[in-house]
């Protein structure tokens, strides 16, 4: 199948590399970054394209962009992996809409559009016989959507809770392990590339809250927005408070929870036993799914990273390919 990709950063390069190196049966026919793009209906030479990107910062010709690619009809599936804008979702939101309207399926790792416009995007996909998949938007490499949708099919989910932000998890882990202050741990996270220059979204709990919104809407068909989430970040957590918890074999983690029956949609730092399955180290993510028949299931894995996030995108691509034809 032919795929077009918008965005060639950390995630995009991981996907391009996977298409090149693994024999998964996809042809990359179009790609764009912020300044350039290229459309080659017979298939892009990925290795030389990546080399050009590395050398010049541009993957193609200046002036070729998302609009040209979307209109080209050179693709069956659009991969949208450009930067997240949590306020407007743009420009990704418009690109996704455009592709769906043309009956093209979309796979994205971009939380913005999915969290902001969940219902209408799904309606659009439905109307045009296309798929919209977004496994990579929640917990990176962890196959949370696939697990709930296929693995736990037929199981009512009563509660979802977990560690949805690797940056916060890293900071809290380092504060607990080394007695670092919040500022020191944040600085360290930045140095190691785990926190962005402006870490507000992560540390204030907004990133985790956006993921909860996506899950609430996807799993239970709720119509939630970011405003519905009760959010407390980790910037007020002190080293002393973690030490107090650790006195009793407890620790503090940023936990996101959805408990529909109790109307709970919340992100907050919580006291949790160190032996709890959700207490994971470093930048890991973990999510516990409480089900009626299967009891509780906990998934742990990498919440970010080039190849890790690409893994989730690839699984969505394969899902669409395998489902294709069933609909038409």
Partner 1 sequence: MKLEMKDSPGQLVSVIQPISEIGGNILSVIHERDPAVRSDVLDVQILCEIPEGSLEPLLARFKQIGVNVLRIGEERLLVRRSVILIGHLIHTDITDTIDTIDSTGFAEVHALSMIMPAINEPSSTKMTIKSDSLANVNRALDILRDVARQKEFLIIEPLEDV
For partner 1, the closer CB: 8 or 252:
252
Q: What count of other Cβ atoms lies within 10 Å of the Cβ of residue 124?
A: 19
| Contact positions with ligand NAP (CB under 6 A) in 69-88 | 81-84
Task: For residue 45, count other CB atoms closer than 10 A to its CB.
Answer: 12
284 three-class SS: strand
Binding residue (CB under 6 A) for ligand NAP from 2, 17, 27, 35: 35
What would you measure as the largest C-alpha separation in the chain, in angstroms?
63
| 9 touching ligand NAP, by CB under 6 A | yes
Asked if 137 contacts 110 with a C-beta cutoff of 8 angstroms, the reply is: yes
Outline where 193-299 has alpha helix (H): 200-203, 206-220, 239-246
Catalytic positions, please?
A: 211
By the rule CB under 8 A, 120 interacts with partner 1: no
- Residue 81 interacting partner from partner 1, ligand NAP, none (CB closer than 5 to 8 Å by kind): ligand NAP
The secondary structure of 253-282, three-state, reads EEEEEEEHHHCEEEEEEEEEECCCCCCCCC
- CB closer to partner 1 out of 5 and 215: 215
Burial class (CB in 10 A: 0-12, 13-18, 19+), 304: buried
Min. distance of Cβ 137 from ligand NAP in angstroms?
Answer: 6
Question: What is 20-68 written as a DSSP string?
Answer: HHS----EEEEEE-SSEEEE-TT---HHHHHHHHHHHS-SSEET--HHH
Which 8-state DSSP code applies to residue 293? S
Of 31-39, 71-79, 99-107, 259-267, the segment contacting ligand NAP by CB under 6 A is 31-39
Choice from 10, 232, 291, 306 touching partner 1 (CB under 8 A): 232
Q: Binding string, 97-136, against ligand NAP, x = CB under 6 A? A: ------------xxx------------------------x
- The C-alpha atoms of residue 144 and residue 290 are separated, in whole angstroms, by 13
Q: Which residue is nearest to ligand NAP (CB)?
A: 9
Structure-token pair, residue 304: 């970010």
The answer to the question of residue 12 lying near ligand NAP (CB under 6 A) is yes
Contacting range for partner 1; rule: CB under 8 A; set: 33-41, 61-69, 98-106, 237-245: 237-245
Answer whether 78's CB lies under 8 Å from 96's CB: yes
E strand intervals along 155-205: 157-163
Q: If contact means CB under 5 to 8 A according to the sort of partner, which of partner 1, ligand NAP, none does residue 270 touch?
A: partner 1
- The site map against ligand NAP for 134-163 (x = CB under 6 A) is --x---x-----------------------
Query: What values do phi and psi take at 314, rounded to 5?
Result: -60, -40
Q: CB of residue 81 vs ligand NAP: minimum separation in angstroms?
A: 4
Smallest gap, in angstroms, from Cβ of residue 32 to ligand NAP?
4
Q: Is 214 a binder of ligand NAP (CB under 6 A)? A: no
Does the protein bind ligand NAP through residue 305 (CB under 6 A)? yes
Positions touching ligand NAP (CB under 6 A) are: 6-12, 32-35, 66, 81-84, 91, 109-111, 136, 140, 304-305, 309
Positions touching partner 1 (CB under 8 A) are: 161, 232, 236-238, 240-241, 243-245, 247-248, 250, 252-253, 255, 268-273, 276, 278
């Amino acid at each position: 199948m032919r795929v077009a990709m918008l965005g060639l950063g950390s995630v995009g390069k991981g996907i391009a590399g996977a298409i090149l190196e693994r024999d998964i049966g996809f042809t990359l026919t179009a790609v764009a970054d912020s300044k350039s793009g290229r459309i080659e209906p017979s298939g892009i030479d990925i290795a030389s394209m990546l080399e050009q990107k590395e050398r010049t910062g541009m993957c193609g010709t200046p002036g070729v962009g998302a609009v040209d690619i979307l209109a080209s009809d050179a693709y069956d599936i659009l991969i949208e992996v450009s930067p997240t804008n949590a306020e407007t979702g743009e420009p990704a939101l418009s690109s996704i809409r455009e592709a769906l309207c043309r009956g093209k399926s979309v796979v994205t790792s971009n939380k913005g559009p999915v969290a902001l416009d969940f219902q209408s995007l799904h309606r659009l996909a439905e109307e045009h016989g296309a798929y919209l998949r977004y496994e990579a938007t929640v917990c990176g490499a962890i196959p949370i959507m696939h697990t709930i949708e296929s693995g736990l099919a037929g199981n009512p989910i009563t509660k979802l809770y977990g560690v949805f932000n690797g940056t916060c998890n890293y900071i809290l882990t380092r504060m607990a392990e080394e007695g670092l202050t919040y500022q020191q741990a944040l600085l360290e996270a930045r140095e190691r590339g785990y926190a962005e220059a402006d870490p507000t979204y992560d540390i204030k709990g907004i990133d985790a809250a956006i993921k909860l919104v996506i899950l609430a809407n996807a799993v239970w068909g709720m119509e939630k927005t970011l405003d519905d989430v009760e959010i407390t970040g980790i910037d007020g957590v002190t080293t002393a408070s973690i030490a107090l918890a650790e006195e009793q074999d407890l620790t503090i983690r940023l936990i996101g929870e959805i408990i529909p029956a109790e109307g709970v949609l919340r992100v907050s730092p919580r006291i949790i036993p160190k032996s709890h399955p959700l207490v994971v180290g470093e930048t890991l993510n973990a999510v516990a799914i409480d089900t009626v028949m299967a009891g509780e299931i906990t998934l742990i894995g990498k919440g970010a990273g080039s190849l890790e996030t690409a893994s989730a995108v690839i699984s969505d691509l394969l899902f669409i390919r395998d489902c294709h034809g069933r609909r038409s």
